[in-house]
Structure 1
Amino acid sequence: MRDGPGRHWQPPLAMLATFVGMILAMRALGRIWWCECGGWALWKSDVWSSHCSQHLADPYTITHFSHGLLFWCLFAVVFDRWAPRIGARPAGVARRFTVPWRLVTAVFAAAVWEVVENSPWVIERYRTVTMSLDYLGDSVVNAIGDVLACVAGFFTARWLGVTRTLILFVVLELALLLAIRDNLSLNVLMLTWPIEAVRSWQTAGHV
């Protein structure tokens, strides 16, 4: 996947195709473009409001920024640290898996998650076992904002390096925990292995 002469257009084209595919899939799932309230605020801070996930960004956008942090760390550890130590063939794969293609992979994974997250089964799962009792799915613009947040996290992690990125990830998780009683770690936990005590504690924060 190394970009040879005349191939630098391939990663941007792949990312554009990913965004278009995500938008079409979201629309096919019945997702609206923007909040039905008609307001044009880009940020909504109240995670209990029906506006959450309907505008460009909200506190959960930070969890998608964290996705980007973790994607970069994963690629850096696997392809920059481990692969060269294993042997010549893995090292060759790592050299071909350049930063643009790593970004394409991260964007594709983030877009796939947006589509899965907005499927009827996952929406119902959120409403049943997490604190998001009134979750209706994301608007298309919110999904685009989430993927762009992932991109921002990816480049932030590239700039910071693995160690400082992991510190930032922990800080963001703690900040979200204090602010909204939820974060990426709890989100994954409650979707896959719901704990009623955790859910009760989270919903107690809704006053």
Structure 2
Amino acid sequence: MPARTWPILGLLLILAAAAIELAMGREPWCRCGTIRLWQGEVNSPENSQQIADWYTPSHIVHGLIFYAALALTLPRLPLGLRALIALLVEVAWELIENTDAVIERYRAATIALDYYGDSVLNSVSDMLAMLLGFWLAARLPAWASVLLGLGLELLALAVIRDNMALNVLMLLHPLEVVRAWQAGG
């Protein structure tokens, strides 16, 4: 398959995901009526509604991890196909993450009491952030990718008391001590 085909397939996959999310009842963009590049306040109704927020770094980390996993398990596949596979996994996560069941799980298990799902704009931006992480991992030495991933995780942890690792932990096995710490207690 020609190399120029992979980005076209990726774009179609992102558009299909956006259409599915709209059909699921997700808001196209923030209910506030304003589109912002950055939403830095986690405890805001605009969190997960704007283009980027403090959870965007976790999607970059997804890309770093997906690149490494696919480079190790499927090294002979063309880079474009591996990127498409990574995008498919990210799209699946975004669709699952925005189901009512998972949204309720976040609300019950984490400090995200007012979370009502991502806007389609934010979800598409998360997919693009994952692709950015994948692209960076394809170009950086492995040690730099590891440092970047750790740095992004530590930055989010320091600023908002949350990151990808804690998000997964709290979704799968919530710990009251972590929830209390995240709430500032």
Report the TM range for the smaller structure's normalisation: over 0.9
Using the TM superposition, give the Cα deviation of residue 9 of structure 1 relative to its aligned residue in structure 2, in angstroms. 4.1
Corresponding position: 1:39 with 2:19? no
Q: Distance in 2 between matches of 1:99 and 1:16?
A: 16
Q: Distance in 1 between matches of 2:5 and 2:36?
A: 35
1:54 corresponds in structure 2 to 49
Q: Distance in 2 between matches of 1:181 and 1:70?
A: 21
2:71 maps to which of 76, 82, 87: 76
1:174 corresponds in structure 2 to 154
Using the TM superposition, give the Cα deviation of residue 8 of structure 1 relative to its aligned residue in structure 2, in angstroms. 3.3
Secondary structure class of the residue paired with 2:87: helix
Q: Counterpart amino acid of 1:48?
A: N
Aligned residue pairs, count: 185
1:126 maps to which of 103, 106, 122: 106
1:30 corresponds in structure 2 to 25
Corresponding position: 1:113 with 2:93? yes
Q: Counterpart amino acid of 1:55?
A: Q
Q: Distance in 2 between matches of 1:12 and 1:156?
A: 16
CA contact (8 A) 1:64 1:146 kept: yes
Unaligned runs of 5+ in 1: 81-93
Q: Percent identity?
A: 41
What's the CA shift string for 1:146-189, capped at 9, x where partnerless? 00000111111111122221121111111111000000000011
Larger radius of gyration: 1
Q: Counterpart amino acid of 1:181?
A: R
2:130 maps to which of 135, 147, 150: 150
Q: Distance in 2 between matches of 1:171 and 1:23?
A: 30
Q: Distance in 1 between matches of 2:4 and 2:144?
A: 31
Q: Counterpart amino acid of 1:129?
A: A
1:185 corresponds in structure 2 to 165
Root-mean-square deviation (CA), in Å? 1.3
Using the TM superposition, give the Cα deviation of residue 70 of structure 1 relative to its aligned residue in structure 2, in angstroms. 0.7
What's the CA shift string for 1:25-61, capped at 9, x where partnerless? 1011111111111123221000110100111110101
Q: Give the TM-score normalised by structure 2.
A: 0.95
**Segments of 4+ in structure 1 off by > 6 A?**
none
Q: Counterpart amino acid of 2:129?
A: A
CA contact (8 A) 1:33 1:140 kept: yes
CA contact (8 A) 2:156 2:162 kept: yes
Q: Distance in 2 between matches of 1:41 and 1:79?
A: 38
CA contact (8 A) 1:76 1:162 kept: no
Using the TM superposition, give the Cα deviation of residue 196 of structure 1 relative to its aligned residue in structure 2, in angstroms. 0.8
Q: Give the TM-score normalised by structure 1.
A: 0.85
